[in-house]
Structure 1
Amino acid sequence: MQTGYYSAAAGMVAQFNRLDTIANNLANVNTTGFKEDSNIIGDFMRVFKEARDELPHANNSEGGAQFINRALAKAPQIVEGYTDHSIGTMQKTSNKMDFSLSKEGLFFAVQTPNGVRFTRDGSFSINDEGTLITKQGYEVLPENYESAGSTISFNTADAIIEVDKNGQIMTNLPNSVKLGATSKMFIAQPDNTKLLVKEGDNLFKYEGVERVKNITDSGAVNQGFLEKSNVNAVKMMTQMIETNRLVGMYQKVMSSQMDDMNNDAINKLAKKA
């Protein structure tokens, strides 16, 4: 068995997966509230050490030794992926229906056909029914949505709409410029952001969403601002160049293993014959 060939092939596959992640980051460099994804590349031995207790054979048994397959001990592969939830740059829009969150780990809650989801994209609008929605048409949830099943709604008389740092919405009283409190946004703070799963449309799925509490005094809501993507385009381009070069290097190793070494072996065997 040409172990070098299989190790190089595994390394190339890992770099292809990394390239997919980098390309997705670059594609979303201008997506509001997008969070950068990254991969951790390890080897087979590291994966084995992390999961050895789950193997079907005893660690020191003959079956265990065969299961480990030492020939692949140094084959690189993607062992973990993670999302960087650091805050992106705040961009002033002066649009009263644009909102951002200035603290890490906080999210707006929205109602989708698949259930409650979280998002950092605060580019909202008001639909024809007067309901506050996302760009995809999902309803933005108020703090009391669980008990009342209500939405954040406005009427045609609401000429002034102001939102404070805690997500409290205030509109003008009828035939007046004075403001009165109405709905309040649900500002979610999951216990563990590592459990958030990207689901498309800039949404995150979270198991146990019903246990996530509303942060009533978050002090993080900014009206008239949007959070830009936290993807660093220069860093991503550098990583893309590095990944492409690694793919080329692995390709040369595979070519050397299959062509040069095989030809050399055939020639030597032919001479001996």
Structure 2
Amino acid sequence: MQDSLYVALSSQIALERRLDTIADNVANASTIGFRATGVKFEDVVSGTGPKSVSFASSGKTYLSTAHGSLTETGNPFDFAIQGDAWFAIETPVGTVMTRDGRFSMNENGELMSIEGYPVLDSGGAPIQLDPRNGPPKAGADGSLRQNDQLVGAIGLYNFDPGQNFVRYGNSGIVPARTPEPVTDRSDVGVAQGFLEESNV
């Protein structure tokens, strides 16, 4: 009797977690750069032989790797990543990875995220533009030019969010380990004037 109660309770907890995950994904179906969360459940067996009892695990979360569709905006400060990479922004909790490329240039020429955090280059430094020269032109590799002069490059990074990752805001992910800059990869690039929709 007691075992059956534990089995029912574990199933209820697993169901609740699955429903919470679905609700969060649906709530972010229109969030730019959002990557959906999935949950994996495993059977946990207690005991051996005919007295063994199978429980549902509490589940482990993972981040969907599917890409959202790209929408053209025409805004020179909107950027979408093509391929498997992430932007990096500097926040109060440290570096955060995001696919949300809604950027802007502040009065000091710093490239900023929509939340007002500095966007980082491949070396982990804030990107500095010349505010007198207007929006930059971006190459597919993330390089930024103003008046035909190279002024910087948007950093593109790889990282493994792992299981039970931590979100920051709606579309940001706090990396558990230092992300690695993407270099010399033809399958990764930046599209200026585009944004990536949620992949829900």
For the criterion TM > 0.5, the same-fold answer is yes
Q: Which moved more, 1:70-79 or 1:157-166?
A: 70-79
Q: TM-score, normalised by structure 2?
A: 0.87
In the alignment, which residue of structure 2 is the partner of 1:169? 144
Whether the 8 Å contact between 1:44 and 1:72 is mirrored in structure 2 is no
CA RMSD of aligned residues (A): 2.3
In the alignment, which residue of structure 2 is the partner of 1:10? 10
For 1:75, give the aligned amino acid: F
1:164 CA drift (Å):
0.6
Whether the 8 Å contact between 1:7 and 1:76 is mirrored in structure 2 is yes
Report which of the two structures shows the higher radius of gyration computed on alpha carbons: 1
1:129 CA drift (Å):
2.2
1:4 CA drift (Å):
2.7
2:152 is equivalent to residue 183 of structure 1: yes
2:107 is equivalent to residue 107 of structure 1: no
CA distance 1:162–1:71, change in 2 (3 Å): farther
Give the length in aligned residue pairs. 197
Task: State the secondary structure of the residue aligned to 1:181.
Answer: strand
**How big is each residue's C-alpha offset from its partner over 1:111-166, in whole Å with a ceiling of 9 and x where there is no partner?**
11222221111111112322111111110012334xxx4x2223342135200100
Rounded to whole Å, the distance in 2 between the matches of 1:230 and 1:188 is: 19
2:49 is equivalent to residue 73 of structure 1: no
Runs of 4+ in 1 over 3 A off after TM superposition: 216-219
Residue 134 (structure 2) aligned to one of 159, 162, 166: 159
**How big is each residue's C-alpha offset from its partner over 1:210-231, in whole Å with a ceiling of 9 and x where there is no partner?**
x623425554100000000110
CA distance 1:197–1:81, change in 2 (3 Å): closer
2:95 is equivalent to residue 116 of structure 1: yes
**How big is each residue's C-alpha offset from its partner over 1:50-72, in whole Å with a ceiling of 9 and x where there is no partner?**
xxxxxxxxxxxxxxx5xx8x877
Task: State the secondary structure of the residue aligned to 2:4.
Answer: helix
Rounded to whole Å, the distance in 2 between the matches of 1:2 and 1:160 is: 67
- Percent identity over the alignment? 28
Whether the 8 Å contact between 1:3 and 1:71 is mirrored in structure 2 is no
**How big is each residue's C-alpha offset from its partner over 1:194-251, in whole Å with a ceiling of 9 and x where there is no partner?**
3682322222222331x623425554100000000110xxxxxxxxxxxxxxxxxxxx
In the alignment, which residue of structure 2 is the partner of 1:22? 22
Q: Which moved more, 1:216-225 or 1:130-139?
A: 216-225
CA distance 1:130–1:39, change in 2 (3 Å): same
1:93 CA drift (Å):
0.6
In the alignment, which residue of structure 2 is the partner of 1:271? none
For 1:183, give the aligned amino acid: G
Rounded to whole Å, the distance in 2 between the matches of 1:214 and 1:40 is: 29
Whether the 8 Å contact between 2:120 and 2:155 is mirrored in structure 1 is yes
Whether the 8 Å contact between 1:196 and 1:205 is mirrored in structure 2 is no
CA distance 1:156–1:81, change in 2 (3 Å): closer
Q: Which ranges of structure 1 fall in alignment gaps of 5 or more residues?
A: 49-64, 173-178, 232-273
CA distance 1:86–1:41, change in 2 (3 Å): same
For 1:166, give the aligned amino acid: D
Rounded to whole Å, the distance in 1 between the matches of 2:44 and 2:52 is: 6
Whether the 8 Å contact between 1:187 and 1:216 is mirrored in structure 2 is no
Q: TM-score, normalised by structure 1?
A: 0.65
In the alignment, which residue of structure 2 is the partner of 1:228? 197
2:139 is equivalent to residue 139 of structure 1: no
The structure that is strand-richer by fraction is 2
CA distance 1:111–1:196, change in 2 (3 Å): farther
